[in-house]
Structure 1
């Protein structure tokens, strides 16, 4: 089947609920405060999706006036009972503090495009509701998480508020929940259990949930009831989580969680389960997610034990095989084509988007949305070939603000809006172009009236002031919502005429505004270069990951005088761009060191700003000694990975040129190849081995067999046991050396890097004794204390046990590479083939410096660059980074 890169729904498309009806697939996602509510996309091949419906598009179904940012529609569930579609959803009125005020409703429709019924109120006991139709007896069951507002003793208070998953029967004839209500599942120790979905297979009930919160600890868990009763009891999956990236900060798809299961029809007519889930792709070393939470998909299978497993392991795969192909060519792909939105009568004559935007906004393009208000006529209209915004309350108002915008779906793009002869009376009227996340977090380039002191003119009588450009910014200003006006004075504009306003965003990191006038049509920069990563979930207000949407760009108009002054827009343009700051472009263009082969092709990248103890503790030199030690260790890792890559040339790349395997499968493939070189298979790494190692703790013995010799060494709490009795090589992927390097770096290498990136400050303090750089057989062993505290205890001692070439090739390479000697004699003479491999590695491993890595971050970081822990390990395969994001 064709290979497709995740996410399948890029940009803000969170909490996916998937459904198959015949040959058609539908995904419903959350919209929060954006109107209309719930997005439903359609596909026949899982690769190419089209927005076909926003069901909640009238006041009877949804009125969000007054809803705070990131409240509104949470986690819809879309199902079909054999005769009609059902949609359940939460309208959350409050999310901070101890209360949630979550109202849960049910609507239904004969077709996916409607008409959708008025809602039936279900309950208000929690959020993330779901409706399950029992295929055997036809009964309908309503599940949701239970929110307990009380602060009870015992455990962190925020976790006690997530009080489990409750179940109650729904009677469609009575239009209400009936019968007893029972708490059927309390979740795992990860807690924050939410997002429930029920399924039934072979008489067994399965309960899929999300846990860990929707940040970097997110996960998908699975439980089942084998009693034959939907009431349980429910037992946990043997692996606890079936999907998570919480322990692997180098994985491309972060924050993976909140999933749903669908059976996908195969070419032979059989059905194969797949899991859709939300994920994020962070930018900058601050791990900010400007595109919000996106939708990805993973193939799965039912094991002989009756449990569901992802085909590629617990980590979300960047590349998956799907029934359909997707055109990702920038020259032809719909995703990469520019969009120009106009409102000329001739263009709109045959347009009817009422199934998406409702009757009043039936001419508004589906890409565009507004905020909270069920009656869009108070905010905008289409007249005279223009989009007319009726100036309302201030940008960020939770009631009425005239803002029409689209999702940012690319890390780099240009946006432009042409504002036609806007004539403000004073500085309280302004309109323009905004890059927007929420009331605490936006950038707004406006046309407004020049104040007398700015214009240098004091109007007399009814004389109007001139016009000027002014920037209004609110940069992560929670809780005060402080506004900044950096242009002092504003930029003078002609008294009349059109103004073209533009924004250039690059890599989700840099934002530059520009403008042009009819008299001077060339775009010119205005204002400073802003940090575009500010418009992200992490900076939207409240604690980290307390905001749930994504960045938008669009048009806005404000009239603080209350007179609803119109702002007329001729057009709005969104133009995707490729830029060196993009996470998927060549590392050479991003100020890093690039590893090249003999032909100059990039095979890997080494940066110097990823691995940081305690998320920044090293800045300022607080851990300078450890910094230097770990920098040396990173160099050892880089050379060993090169050696591994070149020693497995027989591993072949698949036709698509990519392979989205997880660490387990990669290790299995690499070790099988190394075993062939040694003349004996080394065996398989599996979860049982990992579990045994964890049980044995620091005293565990890591055993493996290679070339007839047994290697031993101390293993940390999360180390992997190499057991020669686990020799099953089934499903080992076929990769070439280049890809092995990349996935080892992004997969196996994660074990050593996890805690250096994700480590908590106290864990680093407790774990300093674990940073034993010179220890034979250890990469970065036992980061964290001996008991493996929290994140600080998760570091696999993988250097010699997984990633070392056989017969001392790695050590010989290290010694000779540092001495500038390409001979490979080391402690022992290597065979001819091994010596050739070492020489090849030395030749291939030449490092090409392409720029100072620290200077581009900030003056402070540049000044303390020697205190940064090296190295970021990212593979560049076919000109793209293979899995890790730009931090």
Structure 2
């Protein structure tokens, strides 16, 4: 078997991979999207199944967290017969401060239930828990420095964790490594292998200069770690033509037979035909995904990536892999028969509840709340873009009496970058209409205006479809679900990419989503009823 990278497509950043007996698990960041922390399992590293999210309403409240705040870089580990997850909830993204709270939750079963979170500290984000072979445990974390005359990424701090009291011992805190000259050292994971402590850290920022570096020490003393002479361990900065870019932040794992692999975040850029291949480097509309590379060890004890530090698109699976049964397609069809949302659906910052709407019996009802710019009260359910080319379709029944009420199909990156096709009310023509609008860096544009499509009297439902084709996307409508008309607006997909958002905003860590939304900022809670959702991928760039 071959591992085909990325193994987790679409927004699956900051992978923390472990093995328990013959099974591998990956935890990924979810940032402001709820539920918190995406989990997958596999026995062959090739085929992956989605697991229930560990962070529900009891473990997480992100109301008011900014875009790309929330859950950063969860660390998954297994020790003492339990799964342990350390995660950060980041409350500030831009500016001198990061205001982060690190939490710990545990479970005997990866599928839960997970314990009420234990608050650890706020020293810095990207915390991980290291279980030493003498039974002691340590929190290892990036350290944040707000002072303008210091570098904000102030090394890697290690603090002992007392399992008797389930508290950190702050008096034991020390900086064990300051990182390389590349700076921006973060995402630490610590391992003990053949008597050495190996520290794997991301550096260079999670952009084109991203990389992973390795250091090691015989002890856990202050500043005792020495950098590998062959750093970077993995990067694509010097290989702009590589299919995979941005590889870095990730985790190391061994197989039962002693092979080694490294799970890393990565990006896959595309370019407009008029653009240089190197500047701009490209647009990663699928966000940061997860790749897996084979690792071997040199005679001097330093690890290296098989095939060179740029990694490979196709990687040999473990020799002892057990073939895993997993869905052959990422396509999704939902008729909303169940009374809970499936694992592919996400909401923003808070769980789906009766304030947002209801699901079951063949429909999803969304109660109009705030606009798609709202970070507190928003009725939106969405799923990741996982391919560069796909169609997404829904059907909505909506009878608004004000232009302040809207419902439809959205493609969404964050509260400043999104678009949608929606049904609303035109007070001049005194009828329902279909409009297309975009929010680009918080500049809102209604494209159809007086040419908005009139919904005929007697038509109860409107079908809407998004056609995403790598570089652009468009919306279509139908009044019978069979005859479709494309709305005369083609939108630039780059506006929903990490790289475009990064030009004006410091939180660019998620990826594009497609979903269903209802807005009624008049405050009267107009209800939109969706009777199905289809997501169908089309062969395109990634093939």
- TM-score w.r.t. length of structure 1: 0.58
Q: Is the 8 A contact 1:471 1:527 kept in 2?
A: no
Q: Is the 8 A contact 1:4 1:325 kept in 2?
A: no
User: Within 2, Cα distance between the matches of 1:335 and 1:469?
Assistant: 35
* Match of residue 462 from structure 2: 499
Where do residues 857-876 of structure 1 align in structure 2 (5 Å cutoff)? Answer: none
- What displacement does 1:376 show? 2.8
* Match of residue 33 from structure 1: 32
* Match of residue 485 from structure 2: 524
Q: Secondary structure at the match of 1:271?
A: coil
Where do residues 446-595 of structure 1 align in structure 2 (5 Å cutoff)? Answer: 446-452=422-428, 455=429, 465-475=430-440, 477=441, 481-489=442-450, 490-495=452-457, 496-506=459-469, 508-518=470-480, 521-540=482-501, 543=504, 546-579=507-540, 582=541, 584=543
1:141 to 2:132 alignment: no
Q: Secondary structure at the match of 1:483?
A: strand
Q: Quick one: which of 182, 195, 198 aligns to 1:190?
A: 182
Q: Quick one: which of 403, 416, 425 aligns to 1:427?
A: 403
1:397 to 2:394 alignment: no
User: Within 1, Cα distance between the matches of 2:220 and 2:444?
Assistant: 56
- What displacement does 1:542 show? 5.5
* Match of residue 225 from structure 2: 234
Q: Is the 8 A contact 2:498 2:509 kept in 1?
A: yes
Where do residues 58-137 of structure 1 align in structure 2 (5 Å cutoff)? Answer: 58=57, 60-135=58-133, 137=134
- What displacement does 1:172 show? 2.4
Q: Is the 8 A contact 2:94 2:506 kept in 1?
A: no
- What displacement does 1:119 show? 0.8
* Match of residue 43 from structure 1: 42
User: Within 2, Cα distance between the matches of 1:431 and 1:171?
Assistant: 51
User: Within 2, Cα distance between the matches of 1:4 and 1:18?
Assistant: 15
* Match of residue 277 from structure 1: 264
- What displacement does 1:562 show? 1.3
Q: Secondary structure at the match of 1:539?
A: helix
* Match of residue 55 from structure 1: 54
- What displacement does 1:541 show? 5.4
* Match of residue 338 from structure 1: 331
* Match of residue 301 from structure 2: 306
User: Within 1, Cα distance between the matches of 2:407 and 2:502?
Assistant: 24
- What displacement does 1:232 show? 5.2
- What displacement does 1:385 show? 1.6
Higher helix share: 1
Q: Quick one: which of 280, 288, 295 aligns to 1:293?
A: 288
* Match of residue 662 from structure 1: none
User: Within 1, Cα distance between the matches of 2:220 and 2:121?
Assistant: 23
Q: Is the 8 A contact 1:538 1:545 kept in 2?
A: no
- What displacement does 1:337 show? 5.8
Where do residues 794-813 of structure 1 align in structure 2 (5 Å cutoff)? Answer: none
Deviations 1:295-352 (CA, angstroms, capped at 9, x unpaired): 000111122111111122211211100135999xxxx9945463211113xxx3xxxx
User: Within 2, Cα distance between the matches of 1:538 and 1:333?
Assistant: 32
Deviations 1:15-70 (CA, angstroms, capped at 9, x unpaired): 00001000111000000000000011010111110111211111x31111111111
User: Within 2, Cα distance between the matches of 1:512 and 1:325?
Assistant: 42
User: Within 1, Cα distance between the matches of 2:232 and 2:55?
Assistant: 33
* Match of residue 347 from structure 2: 370
Residues 236 and 437 from structure 1, CA distance in 2 versus in 1: closer, same or farther, beyond 3 angstroms?
same
User: Within 2, Cα distance between the matches of 1:527 and 1:83?
Assistant: 58
* Match of residue 414 from structure 1: 391
- TM-score w.r.t. length of structure 2: 0.94
Relative contact order, higher structure (CA 8 A, sep 6+): 2
Where do residues 619-658 of structure 1 align in structure 2 (5 Å cutoff)? Answer: none
* Match of residue 156 from structure 2: 165
* Match of residue 665 from structure 1: none
User: Within 1, Cα distance between the matches of 2:515 and 2:472?
Assistant: 17
Residues 21 and 326 from structure 1, CA distance in 2 versus in 1: closer, same or farther, beyond 3 angstroms?
closer
Q: Secondary structure at the match of 1:149?
A: coil
Q: Is the 8 A contact 2:35 2:53 kept in 1?
A: yes
User: Within 1, Cα distance between the matches of 2:406 and 2:285?
Assistant: 26
- What displacement does 1:544 show? 7.2
User: Within 1, Cα distance between the matches of 2:196 and 2:392?
Assistant: 51
Q: Is the 8 A contact 1:418 1:571 kept in 2?
A: yes
User: Within 2, Cα distance between the matches of 1:181 and 1:338?
Assistant: 47
Residues 339 and 51 from structure 1, CA distance in 2 versus in 1: closer, same or farther, beyond 3 angstroms?
same
Q: Is the 8 A contact 2:3 2:45 kept in 1?
A: no
Q: Quick one: which of 236, 240, 245 aligns to 1:249?
A: 240
Q: Is the 8 A contact 2:67 2:507 kept in 1?
A: no
* Match of residue 206 from structure 1: 198
Instruction: Give unmatched runs, 5+ long, in structure 2.
Output: none
Q: Is the 8 A contact 1:4 1:326 kept in 2?
A: no
Tell me the C-alpha RMSD between the 2 structures: 1.8
Q: Secondary structure at the match of 2:444?
A: coil
User: Within 2, Cα distance between the matches of 1:385 and 1:216?
Assistant: 45
- What displacement does 1:539 show? 2.2
Q: Secondary structure at the match of 2:341?
A: coil
Deviations 1:762-810 (CA, angstroms, capped at 9, x unpaired): xxxxxxxxxxxxxxxxxxxxxxxxxxxxxxxxxxxxxxxxxxxxxxxxx
* Match of residue 601 from structure 1: none
Q: Is the 8 A contact 2:340 2:360 kept in 1?
A: no
Q: Quick one: which of 435, 439, 445 aligns to 2:415?
A: 439
Deviations 1:206-228 (CA, angstroms, capped at 9, x unpaired): 111000000000000000002x3
User: Within 1, Cα distance between the matches of 2:355 and 2:123?
Assistant: 33
Residues 7 and 583 from structure 1, CA distance in 2 versus in 1: closer, same or farther, beyond 3 angstroms?
closer
User: Within 1, Cα distance between the matches of 2:220 and 2:61?
Assistant: 38
User: Within 2, Cα distance between the matches of 1:293 and 1:6?
Assistant: 12
Instruction: Give unmatched runs, 5+ long, in structure 1.
Output: 154-159, 349-361, 456-464, 585-887
Q: Is the 8 A contact 2:47 2:326 kept in 1?
A: no
User: Within 2, Cα distance between the matches of 1:550 and 1:232?
Assistant: 36
Where do residues 682-701 of structure 1 align in structure 2 (5 Å cutoff)? Answer: none
- What displacement does 1:451 show? 2.1
Q: Is the 8 A contact 1:225 1:232 kept in 2?
A: no
